[in-house]
Amino acid sequence: MDVNAPLLGALGNLPNAATAKVLTPTAVAKYFFNTPADTWRPYLGLGVTHASFSSVSPNTSNIVVNALAGNGASMSSSWAPVYNAGVIYNIDSKWSINGSVSYIPLTSKVSFAGANQAGVGASAGATTTGDLKLNVTDYVIRLGYKF
C-alpha cells in the first residue's frame, strides 16, 4: 500500500510518501434471499475487519519526506465495519457464479518522526500525527462448484 501525504496550500499531494503492508482478516455474516434451489440468490452481509499495518517505511529519498519522517513512520491498527451485497447465479445444480461488492470505511492514526537537523541536537526532529481515512471498495467474482 502506498501512502500519499498532502502538502500545504496549492502545493498538492506528496505521492509515495510511505509504503506499508496491511493485513485485514474479516468476518461477515450474510443473509440470503430466496431458496437455495432458485436461479438467482441475492444476499446482504454485515461484518467486521481488523486492519493491522506492518513494514511502514517512509520514502526518505524525497527531501520533504525525509525532513518529516526521516526517523520512521507508524500506523495504528483499527477495527472497521464491513458492508457487503452480492448475488449468486446458479447455472445448474452443480455450477454457480457469485458476484459481490464490499465497502470498508477504515481509519488509522499515522505518525511521522522527523529527521534530526544537523547541528540542532539529537532530539530536534518533530513528530507529526494525523488520521488516514481509507474508503475501501472490494469487488469479487467467484466461480463455484458443489460436490
Domain ranges of the chain: 2-145
Angle value at C-alpha 83, between 79 and 87, nearest 5 degrees: 145
User: What CA–CA distances, in Å, run from 24 to 42, 72, 117, 125, 142?
Assistant: 25, 23, 37, 32, 20
Q: What is the pLDDT of residues 6-27, one digit of tens each?
A: 555 445 566 677 788 889 999 9
What single-letter DSSP state applies at residue 30?
E
**Could you give the CA distance from residue 74 to residue 16 in angstroms, rounded to a whole number?**
15
DSSP 7: P
Give the pLDDT of residue 58.
78
C-alpha to C-alpha distance for 45 and 73, rounded to whole angstroms: 35
The model's confidence at residue 59, banded by pLDDT at 50, 70 and 90, is confident
Which DSSP category does 122 fall into? T
Q: Is the pLDDT confidence value at 35 over 70?
A: yes
Mean pLDDT taken over the chain: 83
For residue 1, the model assigns a pLDDT of 60
Write out the three cell numbers for 84.
Answer: 457487503
Integer Cα distance of 147 and 144 in angstroms: 10
CA–CA separation, 27 vs 98, rounded Å?
18
Which pLDDT belongs to residue 122? 47
Is the distance from CB of 51 to CB of 81 less than 8 angstroms? no
**pTM of the complete model:** 0.75
What fold is seen in the domain 2-145?
Answer: Porin (2.40.160)
